[in-house]
C-alpha cells in the first residue's frame, strides 16, 4: 500500500514537536453506517479498513506508539449479533493483517481483560503478539475488553497482593509503582488523545495514562477518518504549548 505524503506544513514542524504516542477513541462506526442507510455492522467493517490505513501511515512516519480503543468493557451491552460480528472482525483482522504487521515491523500488545473474549480470538491475538514480539518498530496497542477503572482495580489488587506477601512495602507505592502494574506497563503515556464523531468525553479510556495528554476531537466518524485528518491532528498538537503544570515559555 502506498503511503500518503507528509504535507509541507507538517514537514516544517520540528520533529521533537510531533507526538510520539497517539491514542485514538474510534467512535461513530454505527452512526456513519446509519447515515449511509447501511447496517451498523458495515460501519464496523469500514472502520477496520480505517484501522489498517491509519496504522500503516503512523508506522511509515516513525510514530513510536499507537493505541486504539477497539472494544470497551461496556460494549458487551450491545446486541449479541453486533458483538458476534465485532469478535469475528477482530479475529479476521488478526489473521489477514498479520503479514502487514510483520512487514511493517510492528510490535503488537493488548490492553484489557481476557475474560469474555472467545477462545478463537484469544488464540489469534496471542499468536500475533508472539510473532511480533521481537519487532522494534512502532508499538501497536489494541485495547480490547478495556476499561480504565477496571485497569486501576487490577493494578491495586496486584499491588495489594505484593504488600500482603511482603515483596512490596506500602511506602514504596508511588506513581512509578502504579504505572508498572497497569496493562501498559513499560510504555510511555500518550501525548495526543484523538476522539472521532464529535463526542466530548473520555469514555473510561486510559484514565491514568492521559493525565497530561493533549485532546483533539473531530466531527468525522471513524470510517471517515483519513490520513489528512490524522495530519490535521498532529499539526494542531505541534502548535500547542505543553506546560505540564508549569509556566508558559
Q: Residue 90's closest CA among 145, 133, 150?
A: 145
To the query of whether residue 37 is one of the catalytic residues in this protein, the response is no
Q: Across the strands, what pairs with 107?
A: 139
Chain length of the chain: 249
Closest Cα partner for 64 from 141, 137, 143, 142? 137
Angle at 46 between CA 41 and CA 47, to 5 degrees: 90
| Catalytic choice (75, 135, 204, 226) | 75
Q: Which of 155, 140, 145, 149 is nearest to 187 (CA)?
A: 140
C-alpha cell at 179: 504505572
In the block, residue with C-alpha cell 505484593: 162
Q: In the 8-state DSSP scheme, what is residue 204?
A: T
Whole-angstrom distance, CA of residue 32 vs CA of residue 224: 8
- Would you call 204 a catalytic residue per the annotation? no
SS (H, E, C) 36-105: CCCCHHHHHHHHHHHHHHHHHHHHHCCCCEEEEEEEECCHHHCCHHHHHHHHHHHHHHHHHCHHHHHHCC
Catalytically active residues are: 27, 75
Amino acid at each position: 500500500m502506498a503511503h500518503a505524503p507528509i504535507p509541507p506544513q507538517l514537514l516544517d514542524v520540528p520533529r521533537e514537536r510531533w507526538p510520539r504516542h497517539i491514542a485514538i477513541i474510534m467512535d461513530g462506526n454505527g452512526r456513519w453506517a446509519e447515515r449511509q442507510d447501511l447496517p451498523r455492522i458495515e460501519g464496523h467493517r469500514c472502520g477496520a479498513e480505517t484501522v489498517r490505513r491509519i496504522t500503516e501511515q503512523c508506522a511509515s512516519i516513525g510514530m513510536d506508539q499507537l493505541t486504539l480503543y477497539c472494544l470497551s468493557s461496556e460494549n458487551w451491552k450491545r446486541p449479541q449479533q453486533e458483538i458476534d460480528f465485532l469478535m469475528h472482525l477482530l479475529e479476521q483482522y488478526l489473521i489477514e493483517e498479520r503479514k502487514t504487521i510483520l512487514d511493517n515491523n510492528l510490535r503488537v500488545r493488548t490492553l484489557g481483560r481476557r475474560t469474555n473474549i472467545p477462545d478463537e480470538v484469544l488464540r489469534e491475538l496471542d499468536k500475533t503478539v508472539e510473532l511480533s514480539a521481537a519487532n522494534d518498530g512502532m508499538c501497536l496497542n489494541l485495547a480490547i475488553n478495556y476499561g480504565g477503572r477496571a485497569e486501576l482495580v487490577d493494578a491495586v489488587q496486584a499491588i495489594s497482593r505484593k504488600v500482603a506477601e511482603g515483596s512490596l512495602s506500602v511506602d514504596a507505592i508511588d506513581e512509578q509503582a502504579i504505572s508498572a502494574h497497569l496493562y501498559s506497563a513499560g510504555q510511555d503515556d500518550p501525548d495526543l488523545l484523538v476522539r472521532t464523531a464529535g463526542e466530548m468525553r473520555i469514555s473510561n479510556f486510559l484514565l491514568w495514562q492521559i493525565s497530561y495528554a493533549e485532546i483533539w476531537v473531530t466531527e468525522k466518524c471513524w470510517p471517515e477518518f483519513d490520513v489528512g485528518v490524522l495530519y490535521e491532528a498532529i499539526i494542531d498538537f505541534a502548535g500547542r504549548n505543553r506546560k505540564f503544570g508549569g509556566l508558559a515559555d
